[in-house]
Amino acid sequence: MSLIDDATRAELSGLYQADDRHYHGIRHIEALLGLLTEYRTQFADPEAVEAAIWFHDAIYDSRAKDNEAQSAALAAGRLHGHVDAPRLISIVKMIEATATHEVPAFADASAKADAALLLDMDLSILGAPADIFDAYEDAVRREYGWVGDTDWRAGRGAVLRNFLARPRIFHTDIFVTRFEAQARANMERSLAKLGG
């Protein structure tokens, strides 16, 4: 049973349909929900993951540095009293982890595994076919339209190099197998277009 009631889903859908949401919008949420359906049997607590998906980009301002923390706080406020405390802590930690895409420390191995797969789903766009990846890159660039080209190339290049420097972009074997090679090819191509 979903932890997101109709009123909350409607509220969040409204946030995701704001005019400045070129990538971090409702289609991103729908894509993640589709992956959740596809991999549902892999999750120990798919309802908690669904809640984390709905809230993880609820607050999004490309000029801000604390979107994930604000989104996690929104989830904590909306779900308080409807979800038991350990489960709510897990949801909040998963949302916060989307800031760095590093798996958070959990005492519970199944919660850690759920977080790893959620983070991989959030990054799956990196391993999309080239045309879809390019559209994603263009959409993110529009979200940062206020950033000049020189600063954009430097900042985006640093993000891409950080991911490429990891031994594995994805945490789970499932997503390494499915997306790793394409993600590396996409990001190398993007870096070349950025000039480095």
Query: How many CB atoms are located within 10 Å of the residue 65 CB?
Result: 8
> Taking 60 as the threshold, does the pLDDT of residue 131 lie above it?
yes
Q: Tally helices (H) and strands (E) across the chain.
A: 10, 0
Long-range contacts, stretch 186-195, CB < 8 angstroms, 24+ apart: 186/126, 186/127, 186/128, 186/130, 186/133, 187/126, 187/160, 187/163, 188/164, 189/130, 190/133, 190/137, 190/156, 190/160, 191/157, 191/160, 191/161, 191/164, 194/153, 194/156, 194/157, 194/160, 195/153, 195/157
Structure confidence at residue 31 (pLDDT): 97
Quote the tokens at residue 138. 């263009």
> Taking 90 as the threshold, does the pLDDT of residue 179 lie above it?
yes
Q: What's the pLDDT tens digit per position in 61-96?
A: 999 999 999 999 999 999 999 999 999 999 999 999
- pTM, two decimals, is 0.95
> Taking 70 as the threshold, does the pLDDT of residue 171 lie above it?
yes
Helices (H), 46-180: 46-55, 67-79, 85-97, 109-123, 130-143, 149-165, 173-175
Q: Which of 79, 76, 117 is nearest to 93 (CA)?
A: 76
Mean pLDDT across the chain: 96
Q: Crossing angle for the helix pair 130-143 and 149-165, nearest 10 degrees?
A: 130
Q: What's the pLDDT tens digit per position in 42-65?
A: 999 999 999 999 999 999 999 999
Mean pLDDT of 101-109: 92
> Taking 60 as the threshold, does the pLDDT of residue 158 lie above it?
yes
> Taking 60 as the threshold, does the pLDDT of residue 196 lie above it?
no
Given pLDDT bands bounded at 50, 70 and 90, which one contains residue 114? Answer: very high
Structure confidence at residue 98 (pLDDT): 97
**Separation of first and last alpha carbons in the chain:** 47
